[in-house]
């Protein structure tokens, strides 16, 4: 298949059907009505705006979560906005199927309606960047800007998003640090098309700055300040937000994720294939065979997943894995890599180890030989010698990594994510074995499938 054929195949899958479009439009109309009615009943001066990929018509087929922003007048005090916004969100959600509270900078309502997730988010009704007061206020401006500038290239955005998902570089969450939807849209506006973006990854990196709002001319002082700050923070890209000269749209983009696009774009253009967009279901291999071939070992800690959102849980899992890596290295167990995640109600830490047993003899220093304590030490230990002024002995030590891990956890010598401490201390510790539901995870981890670019 050549590039055109591939793109056409991908579009068949990512472009919403007429049916889906109709369903979504009706849903939005209906929600708009419910919102207006509720606002009226509560006697509020609030405008309801749809934002996000649905409002921009850049959503992927089947992926149509709704973001409904409830915009309060600028003069509303922040406390009042939080309180009334939440009240309004709840009142709207009462008329939908179900809801729960969620937390970002402010609390908001996450409802479900006719099988679709609907976020009801209070914000200020800003006209431009000077009005921005909370992190979410820009969303309305972003939606307007994209709708003004995309000029019908919506499917190009869909292609780019699907490509980024396929190569595991999509998502601006703090635990992902990839490309956001808005950043994808800006890149398509800037480079004209999906292929235009792919062909520009080297140029983009070298130019460093993308300024679609022309802020460097319009607000040189502010824009230069942003540029300087972001360059100093060593970001791969500085994309000055076309709706706010103070912000780098790519501030959360990591070098790793940029590097994935960089290499994958290059290889796609050389040898295009559908696999970049839809990687074949991997994980069919055996993790046990991987372990045998690599001559390494797999240590897995399996524990009850605390009831936390991913934004909180995943960074804490990473912190815990890193803590365990350091603690084990100090104990003489070299760690080649780690992975974390959860499956159903159980979370896991996986570490690949060079070995799972260590030498039986360990040297232990004691007190200086001429002290009171030295006599104790001498009496208590079977073998004693002197180095410098100090007595030493040797001890048979815990040999297996499982005993070492349990002892480290018991003695509180592993830095763990604060909400995970209890759970991890009660973890099952498995060596070279994982339960059925983690077999695929183990295989992907040992092959570094998620992070490798080759």
* Residue ranges that bind a copy of itself, judged by CB under 8 A: 202, 205, 255-256, 259-260, 262-263, 294-296, 332, 334, 336-337, 352-355, 358-363, 369-370, 378, 381-389, 391, 394, 399, 448, 451-454
Q: Which lies closer to a copy of itself via its Cβ, residue 63 or residue 394?
A: 394
| Cβ at position 363, least distance to a copy of itself in Å | 6
Phi-psi region of 180 (alpha: psi -120 to 50; beta: other; left: phi over 0): beta
Q: Which lies closer to a copy of itself via its Cβ, residue 293 or residue 410?
A: 293
Tokens of 417: 């994510």
Check: CB of residue 311 under 8 Å from CB of residue 325: no
Q: Which lies closer to a copy of itself via its Cβ, residue 385 or residue 433?
A: 385
Backbone angles phi, psi at 272, to 5 degrees: -65, 145
Q: Which lies closer to a copy of itself via its Cβ, residue 133 or residue 326?
A: 326
Tokens of 373: 């304590």
Pairwise CA distance, residues 343 & 327, whole Å: 25
CB within 8 Å of 99: residues ≥ 6 apart: 90, 93, 109, 110, 111, 112
| Cβ at position 169, least distance to a copy of itself in Å | 10
Backbone angles phi, psi at 191, to 5 degrees: -105, 5
Q: Which lies closer to a copy of itself via its Cβ, residue 391 or residue 429?
A: 391
Q: Which lies closer to a copy of itself via its Cβ, residue 18 or residue 388?
A: 388
Check: CB of residue 389 under 8 Å from CB of residue 374: no
Q: Which lies closer to a copy of itself via its Cβ, residue 217 or residue 452?
A: 452
| Cβ at position 330, least distance to a copy of itself in Å | 12
| Cβ at position 295, least distance to a copy of itself in Å | 4
Pairwise CA distance, residues 351 & 337, whole Å: 6
Pairwise CA distance, residues 83 & 106, whole Å: 10
Pairwise CA distance, residues 309 & 102, whole Å: 9
| Cβ at position 220, least distance to a copy of itself in Å | 28
Task: Give the C-alpha distances (Å, rounded to integers) separating 209 from 158, 203, 205.
Answer: 24, 10, 8
Tokens of 175: 């635990």
| Cβ at position 338, least distance to a copy of itself in Å | 12
| Cβ at position 382, least distance to a copy of itself in Å | 7
| Cβ at position 178, least distance to a copy of itself in Å | 12
| Cβ at position 443, least distance to a copy of itself in Å | 14
Give the CB-side neighbour count of residue 331, counting CA atoms within 13 A.
30
What angle is formed at CA 199 by the lines to CA 198 and CA 201, rounded to 5 degrees? 70
Q: Which lies closer to a copy of itself via its Cβ, residue 36 or residue 174?
A: 174
Q: Which lies closer to a copy of itself via its Cβ, residue 396 or residue 411?
A: 396
Check: CB of residue 404 under 8 Å from CB of residue 331: yes
| Cβ at position 446, least distance to a copy of itself in Å | 10
Spell 65-84 as b/e; 16+ CB within 10 A means b: ebbbbbbbeeebeeeebbeb
Q: Which lies closer to a copy of itself via its Cβ, residue 310 or residue 354?
A: 354
Handedness of CA 121, 125, 127, 133 (dihedral sign): negative
| Cβ at position 36, least distance to a copy of itself in Å | 48
Give the CB-side neighbour count of residue 376, counting CA atoms within 13 A.
6
Q: Where are the beta strands (DSSP E) in 31-65?
A: 47-51
Handedness of CA 229, 176, 141, 183 (dihedral sign): positive
Q: Which lies closer to a copy of itself via its Cβ, residue 278 or residue 378?
A: 378
Check: CB of residue 415 under 8 Å from CB of residue 376: no
Tokens of 140: 């309305």
């Amino acid at each position: 298949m050549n590039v055109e054929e591939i793109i056409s195949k991908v579009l068949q899958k990512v472009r919403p059907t007429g049916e889906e479009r109709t369903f979504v439009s009706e849903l939005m109309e209906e929600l708009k009505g419910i919102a207006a009615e509720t606002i009226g009943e509560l006697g509020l001066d609030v405008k309801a705006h749809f934002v996000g990929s649905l409002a921009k018509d850049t959503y992927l087929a089947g992926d149509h979560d709704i973001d409904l922003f409830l915009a309060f007048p600028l003069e509303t005090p922040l406390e009042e906005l939080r309180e009334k916004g939440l009240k309004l969100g709840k009142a709207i959600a009462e008329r939908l199927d179900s809801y729960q509270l969620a937390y970002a900078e402010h609390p908001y309502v996450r409802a479900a309606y006719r099988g679709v997730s609907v976020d009801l988010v209070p914000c200020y009704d800003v006209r431009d960047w000077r009005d921005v007061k909370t992190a979410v206020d820009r969303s309305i401006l972003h939606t307007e800007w994209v709708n003004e500038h995309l000029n019908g290239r919506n499917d190009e955005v869909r292609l780019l998003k699907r490509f980024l998902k396929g190569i595991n570089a999509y998502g601006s969450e703090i635990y992902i640090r990839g490309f956001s939807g808005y950043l994808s849209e800006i890149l398509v506006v800037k480079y004209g098309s999906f292929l235009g973006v792919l062909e520009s990854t080297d140029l983009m990196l070298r130019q460093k700055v993308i300024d679609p709002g022309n802020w460097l001319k319009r607000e040189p002082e502010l824009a230069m300040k942003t540029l300087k700050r972001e360059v100093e923070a060593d970001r791969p890209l500085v994309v000055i937000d076309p709706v706010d000269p103070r912000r780098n749209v790519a501030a959360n983009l990591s070098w790793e994720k940029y590097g994935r696009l960089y290499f994958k774009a290059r290889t796609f253009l050389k040898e295009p294939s559908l696999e970049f967009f839809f990687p074949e279901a991997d994980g069919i291999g055996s993790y046990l065979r991987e372990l045998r071939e690599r001559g390494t070992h797999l240590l897995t800690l399996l524990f009850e997943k605390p009831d936390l959102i991913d934004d909180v849980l995943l960074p804490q899992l990473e912190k815990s894995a890193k803590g365990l890596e350091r603690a084990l290295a100090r104990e003489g167990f070299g760690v080649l890599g780690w992975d974390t995640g959860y499956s159903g109600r159980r979370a896991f830490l996986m570490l690949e180890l060079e070995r799972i047993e260590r030498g039986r003899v360990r040297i232990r220093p004691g007190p200086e030989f001429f002290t009171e304590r030295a006599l104790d030490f001498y009496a208590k230990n079977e073998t004693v010698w002197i180095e410098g002024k100090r007595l030493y002995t040797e001890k048979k030590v815990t040999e297996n990594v499982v005993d070492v891990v349990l002892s480290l956890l018991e003695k509180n010598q592993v830095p763990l994510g604060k909400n995970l401490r209890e759970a991890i201390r009660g973890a099952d510790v498995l060596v070279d074995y994982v339960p059925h539901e983690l077999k695929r995870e183990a295989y992907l981890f040992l092959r570094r499938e998620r992070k490798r670019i080759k």
